[in-house]
Structure 1
């Protein structure tokens, strides 16, 4: 990518054209939207072939550093996006601002590319962060990294978001990452590193109820516009009792409500519905059904999965719908491949989840088991589709389990001391492991099923045991978190050392 003025040019004439020349033809509208200018200026854009010319209203300002960024949303005509944002700077005075801030953006332990990253210089800012446009703007690259170049001295507050509707602003419901602290650019230390920005889902003011459907004589289906916190749902029906509720195993936007037996053709209504503290109105009547549920429930998943590994403390079956939790006694193990059927008991852990608890933990070795699921049925009395469930897994001994260790270094000494947690998540079965650091910042996390792990560290400032992403209004900083780039590979019986983190 070529451009004029040249990188770090000084004493640029106030009416010199600013031109960006791409190596190939570009998607003009999408590329234009990805051009960011600091300081924010009134600019006209004109395309001529592969060249984009920027004409500043009234010309450039005297003694000013300009930073031009082409973000990763810029695309060529084959819709190939930039791997990294491209930035160049120039000055109309004799010198450029020296500051630089770099950092990374993550979502679900993975690098987040294409996120909008904003920087506010806070010394003279009296507005609302996130609502007003920033002083500097860029986008994260394919590896989640970003950089702000040629910054003036000052205190900067940085945030990132996914601009799902491409309007150039953060809107309710879009993923948002807030900083754990501001970053100071000083004259004698021009380059600074910001703490990792962690994109978290920000729920809109209230979930929207999109549809209510009467499925049969004992069930309703509520469909929301986003996944909800099921534990917060409170529902009452006029003329009909509610006896339970559960979310669909693979889509938590869909909530099934178990009712008393309905009277076919009778009109019911939602008397009150509250979700996440918000009252939701639904005025459409519900017509009762006399149709009974005829669909057979099915087995959705099991833990450990086929070919997986476990420590031998439990086995779990997950079903597609609410089951009759009184029907457990018919389950029997069928011995296969000369494997001893384990002693223990089956226990319901919820309407959908059935857990086998061995009398004693399973001994290390390879298991091939089959359970005869006789007597299992849903709440309408419809028998389970399929009469058996097979398990094939390995139970690991203590010596086969893996471990990681390292240290966590904290840079913000002004914060009150807070517990620091290491969190590791398995890539296959999704197991999550946790350990706290000691007073020196050292940690040891053992008992791990070998495999690849996504590992991070966070400072639990509010003491609730979970990472808190902060809030925009009122502004509350996020808890400091650092994400390990790439998975940590663990092997049986080995300790992976030097898995270190820096919290900023």
Structure 2
């Protein structure tokens, strides 16, 4: 009986376990519905809310708690400590102190809040309530633009009424929100006043700006909200990471007895390449009074952090390469602790034949534009006069094409035809390898000394045009415009508002952007947080523009605000 009773109990346990492990059959569509807020207290827009109130939020789904906690912003900050208490789908928020009287509070739940299936909220949610008898109604909106993911970017508003120069790396903002997956954001229920806005890619999640780590976006003007003008839109940002690292020399090595290569930590800001003695010195390690003369230097066309130096004949000694007065592209100076490097000199003569490392047109290419420029990059400096004298550019193998040579550096040359090439025409470039040599007299080592190509048909190309109007009558600087497709990019510029034209472009789907170059450096300036430097004004044209061959797309008018 005991044995039978034990077996019965064991069978019952097995049955219970099997039943308990049963689940709803798999299958069906994956849940991709964004979570939402079902109920919240205090009620949105509530006034005369008690100062000891607690906030309760009911979500439509069970949430990943830390994604919500990290995405909650309360403005102004209500207390030294905030406590988050979860029970199922419900979150209760309590404070270590009472709220201030006669104050509008804004609770924002950022778009990065996720449910257990990692579905994020569609947009940030903002709730306003007041411990007084009215709700502030200010609203600032716009977009965040970046080469990387913009979803969840913090958009921060700092009041300038008490602090004219807020430092986002040191103080918390008065108002926060997060951008959605398309970069759109809305700061709601803001009190009247003057504000400075920043967009921060808050990687360390401290709600402050960490230079060199967080991406940051700067506005081009501060925002004033008044009782009459409560809504300001199109406050947009372009994100960038501020370069705070000093430039330094990474390595140097001898190529042969008259050439060395030096690599820096990052691309170097342009300097006077024709006067290398103003920036570089090479001395023997054991006798700094004995220097090695630098005859010329140039930047590697393929790597702007690498420079080549032609020197007097070296000896098999250790040399010290030292540099000064250089800057990186961001304007950071040289780290003087790492401004020099040792390398071993070489007594080996240059016996290596130069090769063509890059050519802008390859052999047997078709569809070349008629306004193309030819470019050749060599592995080392070559003798320029023999190259120009022996360079043959022929149309239909008979007619010589006239043009001008431009040497970008001793190893890079461009050829500009005097006039546009003809459509749908065969061209040939001949480079006699037995007459082209480097400085040491080594002749060109390249099996392909002839390049054949054909230009495209006139019916292939198209155009995009329109007007750009700068609404700021005091706007200064050229207006730079860019049209980009997945395969091609074109640029043009204007002195002032007026008609623009991207002519002779390949068909495709393009996006157009523009900026006003206020500092006249020919590139977009992102601005600076501290000390504050406003970003340049820019615009991304809202619509993608599709153009087909022979069908120009006109009337794409742009307003720069």
1:443 equivalent in structure 2: 499
Residues in 1 aligned to 2:362 and 2:123: alpha-carbon distance in whole angstroms: 40
Q: Which structure 2 residue ranges, 5 or more long, are not aligned?
A: 1-35, 274-278, 284-290
Residues in 2 aligned to 1:240 and 1:259: alpha-carbon distance in whole angstroms: 10
Q: CA offsets, 1:231-250, max 9 Å, x none?
A: 37833322333344444555
1:170 equivalent in structure 2: 209
By how many angstroms is 1:465 displaced? 5.0
SS in 2 for 1:172: coil
Candidates 122, 125, 128, aligned match of 2:160? 122
By how many angstroms is 1:345 displaced? 5.2
Alpha-carbon spacing, 1:444–1:208, altered in 2? closer, same or farther (3 Å): closer
Alpha-carbon spacing, 1:126–1:309, altered in 2? closer, same or farther (3 Å): same
1:17 partnered with 2:76 = no
SS in 2 for 1:199: strand
Candidates 35, 44, 63, aligned match of 2:83? 44
Residues in 2 aligned to 1:111 and 1:422: alpha-carbon distance in whole angstroms: 25
RMSD of aligned alpha carbons: 3.9
1:499 equivalent in structure 2: 556
Residues in 2 aligned to 1:287 and 1:77: alpha-carbon distance in whole angstroms: 60
1:458 partnered with 2:495 = no
Residues in 2 aligned to 1:179 and 1:393: alpha-carbon distance in whole angstroms: 47
Q: CA offsets, 1:161-190, max 9 Å, x none?
A: 434555433233354332222222222332
Residues in 1 aligned to 2:122 and 2:354: alpha-carbon distance in whole angstroms: 49
Q: State whether residues 159 and 193 of structure 2, in contact with CA within 8 Å, keep that contact through their aligned partners in structure 1.
A: yes
By how many angstroms is 1:201 displaced? 4.9
Alpha-carbon spacing, 1:458–1:265, altered in 2? closer, same or farther (3 Å): same
SS in 2 for 1:349: strand
Q: State whether residues 422 and 458 of structure 1, in contact with CA within 8 Å, keep that contact through their aligned partners in structure 2.
A: yes
SS in 1 for 2:69: helix
Residues in 1 aligned to 2:127 and 2:348: alpha-carbon distance in whole angstroms: 68
- Equivalent positions of 1:88-487 (< 5 A) are 88-107=127-146, 112-131=150-169, 132-173=171-212, 175-204=215-244, 207-209=246-248, 211-214=250-253, 216-217=255-256, 218-224=259-265, 226-231=266-271, 234-238=279-283, 239-249=291-301, 251-252=303-304, 254-260=305-311, 263=314, 265-276=316-327, 278-281=333-336, 282=338, 284-290=341-347, 297=355, 299-300=357-358, 302=360, 309-318=368-377, 321-326=379-384, 328=387, 331-332=391-392, 343-344=401-402, 347=405, 348-365=407-424, 367=426, 372=431, 374=433, 381=442, 383=444, 387-388=448-449, 392=453, 394-395=455-456, 400-410=461-471, 416-419=474-477, 421-427=479-485, 428-437=487-496, 441-451=497-507, 452-463=509-520, 466-487=523-544
Q: State whether residues 160 and 177 of structure 1, in contact with CA within 8 Å, keep that contact through their aligned partners in structure 2.
A: yes
SS in 2 for 1:207: coil
Q: State whether residues 344 and 356 of structure 1, in contact with CA within 8 Å, keep that contact through their aligned partners in structure 2.
A: no
Q: CA offsets, 1:125-177, max 9 Å, x none?
A: 24434343221122322222211011111222212243455543323335433
SS in 1 for 2:74: strand
TM-score by length of 1: 0.81
Q: State whether residues 302 and 317 of structure 1, in contact with CA within 8 Å, keep that contact through their aligned partners in structure 2.
A: yes
By how many angstroms is 1:193 displaced? 0.9
Alpha-carbon spacing, 1:378–1:130, altered in 2? closer, same or farther (3 Å): farther
SS in 2 for 1:434: strand
SS in 1 for 2:533: coil
Alpha-carbon spacing, 1:208–1:358, altered in 2? closer, same or farther (3 Å): closer
Residues in 2 aligned to 1:95 and 1:32: alpha-carbon distance in whole angstroms: 28
Residues in 2 aligned to 1:51 and 1:250: alpha-carbon distance in whole angstroms: 57
Alpha-carbon spacing, 1:288–1:500, altered in 2? closer, same or farther (3 Å): same
Aligned residue pair count: 491
Q: State whether residues 373 and 387 of structure 1, in contact with CA within 8 Å, keep that contact through their aligned partners in structure 2.
A: no
Q: CA offsets, 1:16-47, max 9 Å, x none?
A: 43244555565554553333221124323344
Alpha-carbon spacing, 1:333–1:461, altered in 2? closer, same or farther (3 Å): closer
Q: Which has the higher helix share?
A: 2
Residues in 1 aligned to 2:432 and 2:514: alpha-carbon distance in whole angstroms: 42
Residues in 2 aligned to 1:426 and 1:309: alpha-carbon distance in whole angstroms: 19
By how many angstroms is 1:67 displaced? 1.9
Q: State whether residues 246 and 322 of structure 1, in contact with CA within 8 Å, keep that contact through their aligned partners in structure 2.
A: no
Q: State whether residues 420 and 436 of structure 1, in contact with CA within 8 Å, keep that contact through their aligned partners in structure 2.
A: yes
By how many angstroms is 1:301 displaced? 5.7
Once the two structures are overlaid, the 10-residue window that deviates more, 371-380 or 267-276, is 371-380
SS in 2 for 1:231: coil
Residues in 1 aligned to 2:126 and 2:355: alpha-carbon distance in whole angstroms: 56
TM-score by length of 2: 0.73
SS in 2 for 1:119: strand
Residues in 2 aligned to 1:68 and 1:232: alpha-carbon distance in whole angstroms: 55
Residues in 2 aligned to 1:303 and 1:22: alpha-carbon distance in whole angstroms: 60
Residues in 2 aligned to 1:312 and 1:148: alpha-carbon distance in whole angstroms: 48
Q: State whether residues 177 and 200 of structure 1, in contact with CA within 8 Å, keep that contact through their aligned partners in structure 2.
A: yes
- Equivalent positions of 1:55-94 (< 5 A) are 55-75=94-114, 84-94=123-133
Residues in 2 aligned to 1:304 and 1:323: alpha-carbon distance in whole angstroms: 21
Residues in 2 aligned to 1:60 and 1:50: alpha-carbon distance in whole angstroms: 25
Q: State whether residues 117 and 139 of structure 1, in contact with CA within 8 Å, keep that contact through their aligned partners in structure 2.
A: yes
Alpha-carbon spacing, 1:14–1:325, altered in 2? closer, same or farther (3 Å): farther
Question: Taking CA–CA contacts closer than 8 Å with sequence separation of 6 or more, which of the two structures ends up with the larger relative contact order?
Answer: 1
Residues in 2 aligned to 1:400 and 1:154: alpha-carbon distance in whole angstroms: 52
Q: CA offsets, 1:440-471, max 9 Å, x none?
A: x4323253414444423333444555543333
Q: Which structure 1 residue ranges, 5 or more long, are not aligned?
A: none
By how many angstroms is 1:489 displaced? 3.0
Q: State whether residues 252 and 342 of structure 2, in contact with CA within 8 Å, keep that contact through their aligned partners in structure 1.
A: no
By how many angstroms is 1:103 displaced? 0.9
